[in-house]
Amino acid sequence: RLKSLGVSTLQPVAYGVIGLNPATRRPYLVTQDLTDTISVEDLGKQWLTQPPSLVLKRALIKRVATIAQTLHSHGMCHRDLYLCHFLLHLNEPELRVSLIDLHRAFSSPRLRRRWLIKDIGSLYYSCLHLNLSQRDLLRFIRYYDPRGLRYAIGRNADFWQAVSTKASSLYRRHGDAA
């Protein structure tokens, strides 16, 4: 489904089930290897000593926000949405980011607000150590919320406050482990 929405992800090549007993059977999936990639989290850690170009930073913020918005607007929730699950493809002429680790993802005709807050809060938590500016955060909000920045920080401010609270809660619980 992600491919049909324009979100780059893993390409399945085989699947199966291990075990005969229905109570202990475990499914598995084999995917094509994603080579020449770096997680956006690892790339962000490099930014602390070697800042990125403004063009790359803005393009990554836009792409990650667009992927999250696409998932959520089509009734999908990742449930483990951290920067480490976004892979930047290196040595490609255009920016390409793949979303991985989909084993906990689910789909629902109408996602509950708490799932959106969990996803975006987890993503925000994984960005806390990157020293993103207020403008970077507002840029993410602008691309995530199709109604625009003014609506997001005005009429939808409670959502973004809940996202910030979720990120802070994760930080208190896990520290800088994202």
CB contact at 8 A, 125 and 167: yes
Can you read off the two tokens belonging to residue 38?
A: 């770096």
Tell me which residue of 137, 129, 133 sits closest to 175, measured CA to CA.
129
What is the Cα–Cα distance from 112 to 122, expressed in whole angstroms?
16
Catalytic residues: 80
Amino acid at the residue 10: L
CB contact at 8 A, 68 and 83: no
Can you read off the two tokens belonging to residue 170?
A: 């994760």
3-state secondary structure at position 103:
coil
The CA distances from residue 97 to 39, 66, 67, 147, in Å, are 9, 11, 9, 24
